[in-house]
Structure 1
Amino acid sequence: MPEGRIATLGRMLSDTASRPLVIGHRGAPGYRPEHTRSAYELAFALGADAVEPDLVATRDGVLVLRHENEISGTTDVARRPEFVGRRTTREVDGRALTGWFTEDFTWAELSTLRARERLGRVRQASASFDDRYPVIRLRDLFELIDAAADERGRVLRMVAEFKHAAYFDELGLPLDELFVAELDAAGWGRGDDRLIMEAFEPTLLERLGARGIRGKRVFLIEATGAPWDLVLADGHGARSYDSFVTEQGLLGLTGRFDGVSVGKPRLVGGTQTRRGADAPGAPLTGAELVDAAHAAGLEIFTWTLRPENRFLAGGYRRGTVRAAFGDWLGEFTHIVDMGVDGIFVDHPDLGVVARDWSLGRAG
């Protein structure tokens, strides 16, 4: 990296970003198909502090940006006659799935596909851009972030989510090893303060740390079940996700990882109201979960804040049209007021508004 660029980056990193971080979830899929160059560029234009790519691998070891390795719902692959023979059934994390999988394609082949919005029935505006943009690689996003940071004169971050690490290990495509190669190719060295890494599998996060990759490591907490890597190791005795969000569970993560990221229902609605939530040793919810994470020295993030009635907790819905916006500002600011460190949003501008609104009231 040129010396001038290093000095500029150093000045930008010395700036403290507003909290919580507003993270463009797969870019800005409320407006453009997720994981496209247009979605990521728009996320930064709308004020996002970071963007979150989902990482999966191709047959030839290229990390590409897709919600899942099964891509029939996020690309036009099902309409491409040359790939009709690639449709197959695979078992991924214990579940049989039928479709087209990134690991059955080379990057050269995937690069010919065009992206589609996964929630197109709800996001018709975003879906109107279907089939216009190609699939992109992780290395393309590194370049995009560098360019956007230079243009805006502030630090911009990546929150990289690793999908199905144990599954890809079995295929001989270790995501941590491939990620190191991508960092080197992009000129990011072994990572820095711009990088946050997250996964539902703690083993993968530990391997990233052992490889000397710098950047925060965040453990993703699913709503139910157990991490698949632990299931493979311990079978029915595997620790559940719930066990990690008790006071003792959070304390046990101290020193292992830098933070946790929980689904929004653990903070508002959903699991927050289930029976037995106040029992000793029960999973924490709401502000108690946020406070306990901080007391354990962990940052806490939440996903995914979306404005449509379909995705809002019951008390924030308005009217009966599921695709219409409800009281998103009420729900978003309620979550920000809990003191979370980062929010994943599909509409980055709305996340910025909610943060500014919350901070303005607090001031």
Structure 2
Amino acid sequence: MTAPGQASPLIIGHRGAPGYRPEHSRSSYDLALALGADAVEPDIVATKDGVLVLRHENEISGTTDVADRPEFSSLRATKIVDGAEMTGWFTEDFTWDELATLRVKERIPAVRPSSASFDGSSGILRLRDLVDILDRASAESGRDIGMVAEIKHATYFENAGLPLDELLASDLAGTRYADGSGLIVEAFERTVLHQLAARGMRATYIYLLEKKGRPFDAVAALGKDAPKYAESLTDPGLDGLAADQVIDGISVDKSLLFSSDGSTNDLVERAHARGLTVFTWTLRPENRFLRKPFRSDGPPESFGNWEEEFDAILRTGVDGVFCDHPDLGVAARDALDR
């Protein structure tokens, strides 16, 4: 998706700038853009009445004040989402008007107390709200800001009567992203990417790959015979992705870029040799999230030797990185040329 003259790799504001503000809040996105992010990544789930909203998960007790709202106590439920039992409050049980009354909060306040100081200051955003934010910021800055839309739990939502492919195509129709310019769509399930392509949605399609586990669309279809994510990272697996008429690239857990001895490996090189774009997630500076060789002696919430880890990752030749602190990603990219 890198445009001519645009710096590489892309610095993608992961849920905005959640190192500084509660994730997916308006201030998180505004700050990400002010800090130089080339694109931002919204996680997309749906409400009961088919409105696409921005939450990391459809279970929202960890990122909103819903648990403190007695009027919604009856909506607390236990569900099986992608094979895992979860208890809490789920977006698909709320109308948009109901969700709009909630306030967002920091997901990991012990690690990011400064961000937690903004708890309650803003509400949940819809996807269409983010499109407006990006349109305004692009016009004001004179640069085209991209969107990396992650579709969450597509099979689950389709079974609930909320097809995310249909809803996303509808929401983006008529926007500046409708022609595919500046739009990346990613998912941990290949099926929904194929459904979107079949609808004629033009985008760069990225298959998300975890270190462990299996894609739930395959599990739903094949049960125990479903392939593991790891199989896609083998040479035959990458060959299969390269032959896919829809998939343009992969996005991987950053740990998959490292060998057991701590050095970076050849995954990016092997994927590029097959014409696949490669993104990675998530670059975070706190000791809690850094790989062991890059941690400092401070507590988990302190910044470790993030410059070294970021530099090692960027030097693999990766095409885009997801950052909780977009300014640090920009700084690491700038340092590559020194």
TM-score, normalising length: structure 1: 0.90
Q: How much has 1:120 moved relative to structure 2?
A: 1.4
Secondary structure (helix, strand or coil) at the match of 1:27 reads coil
The residue aligned with 1:6 is none
Aligned to 1:179: 168
- Alignment partner of 1:25 out of 6, 14, 17: 14
Structure 2 CA distance for partners of 1:18 and 1:287, relative to 1, 3 Å: farther
Mapped pair 1:167 → 2:146: no
Measured in 2, the distance between the counterparts of 1:217 and 1:189 equals: 14
In 2: Cα distance, 1:345 partner to 1:68 partner: 18
The RMSD of aligned alpha carbons is 1.5
Taking the aligned partners of 1:157 and 1:148, their CA distance within structure 2 comes to: 11
- Please give the secondary structure, in 2, of the residue aligned with 1:97: strand
1:336: how far off? 0.3
State the Cα distance separating 1:189 from its structure 2 match: 6.2
Give runs of ≥4 in structure 1 deviating > 6 Å: none
Aligned partner letter, 1:65: L
280, 283, 302: which is aligned to 1:302?
280
Q: Name 2:209's counterpart in structure 1.
A: 221
Q: 2:305 aligns with which of 321, 327, 343?
A: 327
CA distance in 1, matches of 2:46, 2:167: 8
CA shift at 1:15, angstroms?
4.1
> Contact between 1:28 and 1:42, CA under 8 Å: does it hold in 2?
yes
Say if 1:32 and 1:38, in contact at 8 Å, map to a contact too: yes
Query: Percent identity at matched positions?
Result: 56
Instruction: Give the total of aligned pairs.
Output: 335
Q: d(CA) in 1 for partners of 2:8 and 2:278?
A: 11
State the partner residue of 1:337. Answer: 315
User: What is aligned with 1:293?
Assistant: 271
Unmatched runs of 5 consecutive residues or more in structure 2: none
SS of the equivalent of 1:335 reads: helix
Q: Secondary structure at the match of 2:122?
A: coil
- Of 290, 295, 298, which residue of structure 2 is paired with 1:317? 295
| Alpha-carbon distance between aligned partners in 1 of 2:320 and 2:175, rounded to the nearest angstrom | 26
Q: Corresponding residue for 1:70?
A: 59
Within 5 Å, which residues of 2 pair with 1:1-363? 15-184=4-173, 187-188=175-176, 190-256=178-244, 257-268=247-258, 272-273=259-260, 286-358=264-336, 360-361=337-338
Opposite residue 254 of structure 2, the aligned amino acid is K
Unpaired runs of at least 5, structure 1? 1-12, 275-284
Deviation, structure 1 residue 222: 1.0
Q: Which amino acid aligns with 1:338?
A: T
Whichever residue aligns with residue 131 of structure 2, its letter is F
Q: Is residue 298–residue 304 contact of structure 2 (8 Å, CA) maintained in 1?
A: no
- CA distances 1:189-215 after superposition (whole Å, capped 9, x unpaired): 634221000000011111111111111
